[in-house]
Amino acid sequence: MRTTARAVVIGGGIAGCSAIYHLTREGWTDVMLLERDELTSGTTWHSAAQVTNFGGNQTMVGLKTHSINLYNELANDPEYPINYHHGDGGLRLASEEWHMEGYRHFQSMAKGMGVEFELLDAAEAARRHPLITTDGLLGALWDPMDGDIDPAQLCQALARRARLAGAEINRHTSVTALKQLPDDTWVVTTDKGEIHAEHIINAGGYRCNEIGAMMGVTHPVVSMEHQYFLTEPMQGVIDAGHRMPLLRCPTDDFYSRQEKQGLLVGFYEQDCKTWGLDGIDPNFTMALSPDDPDRVLPVLENVFKRMPALMETGIHTIVNGPITYTPDGLPLVGRIPGKRNAWCITGLRAGLGEGGGHGWLLAQEIVHGQAVYDTWCIDPRRFSKRADIPYTTAKVVEDYQNEFRFHRPHEFRPAGRDLRPSPLHATHAQMGAEFGVVNGWERPLYFNKDPNFKADHSYHFSNIDPLVEAEVMHLHNHVGIAEVNGFNRIEIAGTGAMNWLDRLICGRVPTKDGKVGLGYFLTPKGDVLGEATMARLSDDKIWWGSAAAAEDHDLDWLRAQNPPQGVTLQSKAESHTILLLVGPKSRQLLAQACPERSWERADFPWLSVTECQIKGINATVMSVSFSGELAYEIHVGLDQSVALYEALSMVGQDFNLRPFGMMAVESMRIEKGYRHWKADLITEFDPLESALDRFVDLRKVDSIGVQALIAKKGAKRREFVTIKIKSDFAPAHAGDSVMDGDRVIGTVTSAAYGHRVGENLAMAFVDPEYAQIGGDLTVWVQGEMLSGTVVSPCRFDPENHNMRG
Ligand SMILES: Cc1cc2nc3c(=O)[nH]c(=O)nc-3n(C[C@H](O)[C@H](O)[C@H](O)COP(=O)(O)OP(=O)(O)OC[C@H]3O[C@@H](n4cnc5c(N)ncnc54)[C@H](O)[C@@H]3O)c2cc1C
């Protein structure tokens, strides 16, 4: 066994085998995989191993397409062919109208990744799968690429290719300890000796938290027991003359594929069971849990209704094994939060279908610092440290119970909802707030007073829209108050802080105390990594503000940029919150609440910051606006937030102050052309493609990514535009394709109805030749090709009169 390696992968299931193969493919050959038993001895060996193309967003569809292409290539490798039933096709059934709505959206979204889903009626679905009945069936989504693969052969083939490229694969080698050295490299201790590695990768499957514990990390990953049955041969399968397509349904909670001349049927039962929470027997390897058919009986009823022939068919094998989940059902692939040179590819619940793609994106991140797609949806840093095992368990159980029930627009499910409650939660609830969650923080989405109101989470305009419109118009004409809790705020302080920050941002850090500016930071390749509001409180103290979801991401990234000695980074996300005052009367309200200083435009203009006291409460006030109206962000200690809210509300009685939620802000920011991190600001595009030219100073050649940007010489992959959709049929949704005839020419990133301007708006990246203002195009929304026009990005008050007051 070698004693040094550039990267050590721990675990030899599909995750580890894909990771090591792709590391070699991306150019790192001095790499090693350590497996405590045989390859695939964890979950992989007994997987149902279905490989599907369906994903909830474009990154997931793209990485699954990579899996499919790779598996096809391996299957056709004459030197080492493997069994892969590629192209049996798959049906996602629809028995409720919202299933079809979702499928129409996913069809449009997948088209942008070159994947052609087809929508079928019930009769055609039954023609393609002769064993199903059409009772209560509305239709189905057809995924032509679906199939299944031999998981052991797949891993052996990946390992073989990695070995041929120079990787070393050590079976029966258990990692027992991990220690990080001061230079950020690692000592990996095994039962066969030590290895000195630059990078480590946790691919430990259901044992990922045993490996995590060796480096002081708890991954938000919990395993569930998961069962499938294999049936005896079935005449219907034999007679069909073709392989049965895969089958799943959002509300019937089962899946199925062909296995030999019978079927494999798997279950997601409501009465589900976690696995391994109290520790895992070290001898549990190549092992299964005891059969537990009673648990899945209720689901079996759904199966029999859809495929009556199964009632007459015997079961010859039951497989019950551990399957890993995370709080949102997507895996953890990327940097381990708070660690350097440490990565993970864990929490895979569909590892055979997705594993090829996850290993590919992870290897690109490790080797090149960035992957071809934006990987935020699988980034381990998307959960805060608050996502502990009890929280993860609650969400995992919920996710398992809803395996095929995709989230609908503005739908937030009930489990784990009190992770990060705000002291103002009860106040907001009493006012009729409907809450959503951002990074564990509960935030009002909108308010309604009707106790019988039931939100319609439609992909069309819904009964939520009039409530949002009323809030927007109130903010436009009067004044409103909201809390933006969890906003990511990092105090950067100390001598040299400004110079250090200046090197990180591709634009300018505010040069005057009391000023606020917006900055963008880039990947080394010059693409957009993030956005920060920089509020300069003094010449050696600045507040870095960014999206609540960016909490771990930004802190990790700032720390990785090695702040000079004496410069400190302190997160205030947990200790502070923001009260927002928005609307033309916000200045008068603030002046009445805090008469000790002048809030007049001349004394406290737009983009100013000051520390002050309001009604005796310490606050930091910024005159910044995401809505396009005059607005103030009042940053206050969490412990003082209720007192300040009450004080402002009392003063607000004179001004018709009303609460508002985040959906009003979403509509208003789109009218202003303002971007959202990880919706409109993604690592797939640089700031010039993202139409952020005014925040880029190409003379700053020492700032991260600027040289790379210059080297591109203005070449653009796509351009960011605003589209006015000439129809009120439905709003667009992130991921919908922008079309010219049959050709995809762009992708929607955000969309909402602009209530102040009365326009159905979408933001999108489109091919450069379609970015001209006034140009016509179509947006594929809910199965309809809706005409649209590229319009100037700021739809509301382009001169910013309102914001300046
Ligand atoms: C019943 C069932 C059906 C499924 N069906 C499908 C399906 O149809 N399609 C699909 O895509 N997915 C399916 N899955 C999920 C899929 O099988 C998993 O997502 C995938 O196998 C996980 O692979 P992994 O590499 O992450 O974990 P594992 O396969 O568990 O691999 C982890 C490896 O790490 C090793 N290891 C752990 N600790 C150490 C250590 N300290 N030192 C060295 N090595 C260590 C283990 O021995 C193990 O081999 C199914 C799962 C189950 C349970």
pLDDT digits (tens, 9 = 90+) for 348-379: 999 999 999 999 999 999 999 999 999 999 99
Compute the average pLDDT of residues 157-168: 98
Tell me the per-residue pLDDT of 709-735, one tens digit each, with 9 for 90 and over.
Answer: 999 998 999 999 999 999 989 999 999
Q: Given ligand 1 and candidates 36, 45, 47, which is best to mutate, with the most ligand atoms within 8 Å of its CB?
A: 47
The letter for the amino acid at 762 is A
For residue 73, pLDDT over 90 is answered with yes
Half-sphere exposure of 46 (CA within 13 A, CB side): 22
The letter for the amino acid at 427 is T
Compute the average pLDDT of residues 291-317: 96
Q: What pLDDT was estimated at residue 187?
A: 98
Tell me the per-residue pLDDT of 755-794, one tens digit each, with 9 for 90 and over.
Answer: 999 999 999 999 999 999 999 999 999 999 999 999 999 9
User: Ligand 1 site: residues with CB under 6 angstroms?
Assistant: 10-16, 34-37, 41-44, 46-50, 174-175, 203-207, 210-211, 226, 228, 266, 285, 319, 321-323, 348-353
Q: Tell me the CA–centroid distance for residue 12 and ligand 1, in Å.
A: 9
Q: What pLDDT was estimated at residue 31?
A: 98
Among 683, 751, 694, CA closest to 717: 683
* Confidence bin at 326 (pLDDT 50/70/90): very high
- Alpha-carbon distance 782 to 711, whole Å? 40
Q: Tell me the CA–centroid distance for residue 349 and ligand 1, in Å.
A: 8
Pairing of strands 254-259, 246-248: antiparallel
Protein residue closest via CA to atom 5 of ligand 1: 48
Q: What pLDDT was estimated at residue 28?
A: 98
Protein residue closest via CA to atom 30 of ligand 1: 42
Q: Given ligand 1 and candidates 20, 39, 41, 44, which is best to mutate, with the most ligand atoms within 8 Å of its CB?
A: 44
Q: What pLDDT was estimated at residue 421?
A: 85
- Alpha-carbon distance 243 to 237, whole Å? 7
For residue 153, pLDDT over 90 is answered with yes
Tell me the per-residue pLDDT of 490-520, one tens digit each, with 9 for 90 and over.
Answer: 999 999 999 999 999 999 999 999 999 999 9
For residue 418, pLDDT over 90 is answered with no
Rounded mean pLDDT of the chain? 97
How many angstroms separate the Cα of 554 from the Cα of each of 5, 355, 364, 532, 625?
A: 29, 27, 20, 9, 22
Neighbours of 445 (CB within 10 A): 20
Q: Tell me the CA–centroid distance for residue 152 and ligand 1, in Å.
A: 11
For residue 336, pLDDT over 90 is answered with yes
Q: What pLDDT was estimated at residue 409?
A: 97
- As a whole number of Å, the end-to-end CA separation of the chain is 70
Q: Tell me the CA–centroid distance for residue 205 and ligand 1, in Å.
A: 5
Q: What is the DSSP string of 643-671?
A: HHHHHHHHHHGGGT-EE--HHHHHHHHHH
Q: Tell me the CA–centroid distance for residue 39 and ligand 1, in Å.
A: 10
Tell me the per-residue pLDDT of 257-296, one tens digit each, with 9 for 90 and over.
Answer: 999 999 999 999 999 999 999 999 999 999 999 999 999 9
For residue 220, pLDDT over 90 is answered with yes
Nearest ligand 1 atom, CA 257: 8
Q: What pLDDT was estimated at residue 384?
A: 85
Q: Given ligand 1 and candidates 168, 169, 207, which is best to mutate, with the most ligand atoms within 8 Å of its CB?
A: 207
Q: What is the largest CA-CA distance in the chain?
A: 86
The conformational region for residue 353 under phi > 0 = left, psi -120 to 50 = alpha, else beta, is alpha
pTM (2 decimals)?
A: 0.97
How many angstroms separate the Cα of 204 from the Cα of each of 9, 160, 282, 381?
A: 9, 20, 13, 18
Burial class (CB in 10 A: 0-12, 13-18, 19+), 538: exposed
* Confidence bin at 245 (pLDDT 50/70/90): very high
Q: Tell me the CA–centroid distance for residue 40 and ligand 1, in Å.
A: 7
* DSSP 3-state of 127: helix
Token pair, residue 103, equals 């499928």
Q: What pLDDT was estimated at residue 385?
A: 84
Residue 87 phi/psi, 5° resolution? 85, 20
For residue 616, pLDDT over 90 is answered with yes
Q: What pLDDT was estimated at residue 253?
A: 96
* DSSP 3-state of 407: coil
Q: Tell me the CA–centroid distance for residue 203 and ligand 1, in Å.
A: 9
For residue 386, pLDDT over 90 is answered with no
